[in-house]
Amino acid sequence: MAEKSKITLNINGKNYTLVHDETDDYMRRIEHYLNSKIETSGKAAIQLGEQTALVMASISVIDELFKTQKNFNTLKNEIKRIMDEYDKLRAEKQLLTESLQDADRKIEELSAKLIDKNNK
C-alpha cells in the first residue's frame, strides 16, 4: 500500500486539505480539472450562484464518469467477443492442421504403395 501524504488543494477559491496515496502531480491535475469544470459551470450559471455552479460541475463530472464506465463495459464486452472468436479460430486451426497432417500421411502412404507397386 502506498504511503499516505497530505496536500492542500484550492477548489473554487477555497482550500481543502486531503490525505491521499497518489502523486501530488495527480492530485494537482484533479484540482485543475475540477476548477475548470466549476468555471465552465459558473459561466453557465453566473446568476444562480456558487452553489449551483458546484452542483452543475458535479453533475458534469458524474456524467463523464457514467459515460466512461459505459464505454469501458462496451469495450470489455467487445474484447470478450473477440477473445471468444479467437479461441474458436484457434480450435478451428488446430482441426485444420490435424486434417492437413492426416492428408500428408495418406499421401505418403499412397506414394509408398505406388513406388512399391512400380518396383514389383
Of the candidates 8, 15, 62, which has an alpha carbon nearest to the alpha carbon of residue 37?
62
Please state the pTM of the whole predicted model: 0.63
Give the model confidence (pLDDT) of 28-83 as tens digits: 999 999 999 988 887 765 666 778 888 888 999 999 999 999 999 999 999 999 99
For residue 29, what are the domain limits?
A: 5-86
Whether 120 maps to a domain, the answer reads no
pLDDT at 2 (0 to 100): 65
Whether 114 maps to a domain, the answer reads no
User: What cell does 113 get?
Assistant: 504403395
User: Rounded to the nearest 5°, which phi and psi values hold at 23?
Assistant: -75, 155
Whether 42 maps to a domain, the answer reads yes
Total domains, the chain: 1
